[in-house]
Structures are given as C-alpha cells and as structure tokens.
Structure 1
C-alpha cells in the first residue's frame, strides 16, 4: 500500500517548492528590477503622482464629477505611459509575467498530476480522462 501523507507533510513540501521558486532566475531578476525601479528618482516621483491622481479619481467618481474624472484619467494615462516607457519598468513587468507563468505552471502540473494519479490508482484510463469507477459503472461497459 502506498504511503498516505498528512496535510502537514504536504504543506511542508509546498514550502520547499515555494523556496525553490523564490530562488529561480525569474524571481532574482524580478527582485533586481524592483530595486532598480525604487532607486530611480523619476519613476518614484511618477508613481507618487500616479497614486495621488488615482485617489482623486476615486473621489471624483464617488461624487459623480464626470468631467473632472475624465481630466484626471487623462493625467493618469499620461503618467502611466511615462512610467511604462522606462526600460527597467518594461523588464520588471515582463519578469512579473514570467514569475506568474511559473506559478501557474506549477499549479497546473500539481492539479493534472493529482488527477492522473487518481485515475491510475482506480484502474482508470488517463488518455480518456476516466477513473476506474467511472469505467466500471457506465452502461456501455455492461452491454
């Protein structure tokens, strides 16, 4: 019989995987890019302005100030564009995508592997996506 794992053992292994992910090239690049962004005075100033404008936009939206909201949104778009033009910001955003893709890949791999393990353990057919109990209990097998 296969060993049964406890929730605590699985959480411990999850933490080990998280540690591995946190120490990949993608995450290291992400951290370096973030540090460079934080060291960039112009980007920091633009981000501060952006946050202030976003707060104003929320207030204008709550009070139904449509024209003022349009003006603020235009300013937000302009500043966001300036921030996005900075090469390190572009690289930072790309690294975010890569880290998220890696997390999604790990998540999907775990989910698919669990499903496959269940199918195999129940005598099912992984290629058809059927568990053994499904195969045994469907009418086409009883004919």
Structure 2
C-alpha cells in the first residue's frame, strides 16, 4: 500500500530540506560573497550610481529625450563594466550561478520524483 502524506507533513519535510540546503557548500559560499559585496564601499558606490542613472534613463525615455537617454545608457554600461571587473563582484556572480544551478538540480529531482510517482500504478 502506498503511503500518502498530508500537506503539513510535506511542508515539514520541505522545511528540513531547506535547512539542509542553507547549510550546503554552495549557499555558504554565496552568503560569504554577499557579505563581501555588502562590505565593499566601491561596489556600493557603483551600484548606487547605476541605480541613479537607471532612474534618470526612465525619465529621459518617458519625456522622449532620445539623445540624452542614449548617453545615459552608455554611462550605465560603463559603470556596469567597471562593477563587473571587480573580483568580489565576479566571485558573487559565480556563487549566485552555483546556487542557481544547485536549486535547479533540486527542482529537477523533485519534479522527476513527482512524475515517476504519477506514472507508477498505485497499490490498492
């Protein structure tokens, strides 16, 4: 006979899995990289500048200031390239990619198990 789990039991198991995942090497590395990003003044200044110019771009585009909009977008691209060249940012992006890959793998495993369970005949 196939064991059926209640919604509460599944959510409790999911919570335990989430706790284990948060202790994984990938997530730990991500948290460290995020802390380094937050503590890096140069990174924060560049991020703030990019946000400021992005807001300006929205306004310029809204008011049809095409030439000023393109100059602003070029400045944003330059600032973004400068930001992306900082090693701690590269480390953060890599850790984010690793965590995303890890979560995608978990999602595929769960999806696969659910699909397998749907396809297998139930015991009566």
- Scaled to the shorter chain, the TM-score interval is over 0.9
1:16 corresponds in structure 2 to: 16
Distance 1:12 1:19 in 2: 11
Q: What per-residue deviation string (whole Å, max 9, x for no partner) do you get for residues 19-68 of structure 1?
A: 11111111111111111111111111111101101111111112221111
Point out where structure 1 has 5 or more consecutive residues left out of the alignment.
124-143
Point out where structure 2 has 5 or more consecutive residues left out of the alignment.
none
* Contact 2:54/2:76 (<8 A) preserved: yes
1:91 corresponds in structure 2 to: 91
Q: Which structure 1 residue ranges, 4+ long, deviate > 2 Å from structure 2?
A: 120-123
2:104 corresponds in structure 1 to: 104
Q: What per-residue deviation string (whole Å, max 9, x for no partner) do you get for residues 85-118 of structure 1?
A: 0111001001111111111111111111111122
Say if 2:81 is the partner of 1:78.
Answer: no
Could you say which structure has the greater relative contact order, defined with CA pairs below 8 angstroms and 6 or more residues apart? 2
Please report the RMSD computed on the Cα atoms of aligned residues, expressed in angstroms: 1.4
Distance 1:66 1:15 in 2: 50
Distance 2:77 2:90 in 1: 16
Higher CA-based Rg: 1
Aligned residue pairs: how many?
123
TM-score normalised by the chain length of structure 2: 0.93
TM-score normalised by the chain length of structure 1: 0.81
Distance 2:62 2:122 in 1: 56
Distance 1:54 1:68 in 2: 12
